[in-house]
Amino acid sequence: MKLVTYNLNGIRSAISKGFVEWLVATDADMIALQEVKANIDQFDRSLFEALGYHLYWFAAQKKGYSGVAILTRHLPQHVEYGCGVDVYDYEGRVIRVDFATFSLLSVYMPSGSSGDIRQAFKMEWLSDFQDYIDTLKQVIPNLIISGDYNICHRPIDIHNPKSNANTTGFLPEERAWIGRFIDSGFIDSFRYFNSEPHHYTWWSFRAGSRQKNLGWRIDYHLVANSLKDRLVRSVILPEARHSDHCPVLVELN
C-alpha cells in the first residue's frame, strides 16, 4: 500500500503543471493533500475519478486559502471532516478517513511566518492538536498522520540550522513539541529508513533555493508505533515539481 503526502500550494495550479499525469505514474493508493486552496467544485474532479480515486475534501471557509483533502482508491468506513474546534476547522486543517485496520489523517499545520499573532495561533494549535490526537488514539490506535507540519525537527532537517535558529518552523519550542509528539507514540517514517542529510520537502521560491537544495523537511508521515512492523519504505520525491513542496511516500504492508 503506497501513501503519499503532498502540499500542492493550490490544486488548480498543480493540475496545470502536470499533477494528474504524475499521479498516473506514481500509482499511489492514497494521497493526503494540503493547501488545496479550492472547493471541490472549482476543478474537474473527474480527472481523479478516472484514475479510480474517491475524493474527500475539506476546504477552508476563506476562498483560495489552506484546505486539506484525501484521494483514496479504497472506500473508507468513515470520513471525519475537521477536528471539532471551530477556529481550526474554519481554516480547513484536518480530514480523516477510517479503514478497518488504520486511519489516515491529512493535516496542514499553521506556519506562523506572518508574525507574532499567527505564531501564537500556531503554538495554541500544537497544544490542542496533541490533546486531540491523545484522545483519538484511545479509540483508533493505528493512526497515520500525514501532512505539512511546518516544523523541522532536527538540524539535519534544515539546510542552515544556525542562521534559522530563531526562525518560525525551527524555533526551539516547535522542535521540542514535535519531538514530544513523536515520542507520544509515533515513528517519523522517513527517518526510520534514512538518516542522511540534505533531504528536504520545501524550498523557498527565492534565490534559486530549490536548484541549490537549500530546503527544509517539514512534510511527514508520522506512523503509529503499532504499525511499525508494516513499514516497508519511505522516500522523498523531489523530482515532482508541481509546488514549492515535494511529495513524500510511505509504503506499508
- Tell me the pLDDT band of 177, cut-offs 50, 70 and 90: very high
Q: Count Cα neighbours of 12 within 13 Å in the Cβ-side half-sphere.
A: 10
Residue 198 has pLDDT above 90, yes or no: yes
- Rounded-to-integer distance, Cα 30 and Cα 5, Å: 9
Residue 160 has pLDDT above 90, yes or no: yes
| Structural domain of 171 | 2-252
Question: CB–CB of 209/165 below 8 Å?
Answer: no
CA distances from 91 to 60, 64, 65, 198, 248 (A): 4, 11, 8, 32, 23
More confident residue, 206 or 56: 56
Nearest by Cα to 5 from 246, 205, 240? 246
Threshold 0.95, pTM exceeds: yes
DSSP code of residue 245: B
Amino acid identity, position 225: N
CB neighbours (10 Å) of residue 93? 26
- Rounded-to-integer distance, Cα 104 and Cα 69, Å: 11
- Tell me the pLDDT band of 132, cut-offs 50, 70 and 90: very high
Q: Each residue of 203-246: pLDDT tens digit?
A: 999 889 999 999 999 999 999 999 999 999 999 999 999 999 99
Nearest by Cα to 181 from 129, 236, 141? 129
Q: What is the pLDDT at residue 215?
A: 98
Residue 114 has pLDDT above 90, yes or no: no
CATH code of the domain covering residue 23: 3.60.10.10
Mean pLDDT computed over 168-192: 98
- Tell me the pLDDT band of 17, cut-offs 50, 70 and 90: very high
Residue 84 has pLDDT above 90, yes or no: yes
- Tell me the pLDDT band of 134, cut-offs 50, 70 and 90: very high
Catalytic residues: 148
Q: What is the pLDDT at residue 91?
A: 98
- How many domains are there within the chain? 1
Q: What is the pLDDT at residue 118?
A: 96
Q: Each residue of 139-155: pLDDT tens digit?
A: 999 999 999 999 999 99
Q: State the helix-helix crossing angle for 116-139 and 172-183, rounded to 10 degrees.
A: 0
- Tell me the pLDDT band of 108, cut-offs 50, 70 and 90: very high
Share of the chain above pLDDT 70, in %: 100
Mean pLDDT for the chain overall: 97
Q: What is the pLDDT at residue 207?
A: 85
- Tell me the pLDDT band of 156, cut-offs 50, 70 and 90: very high
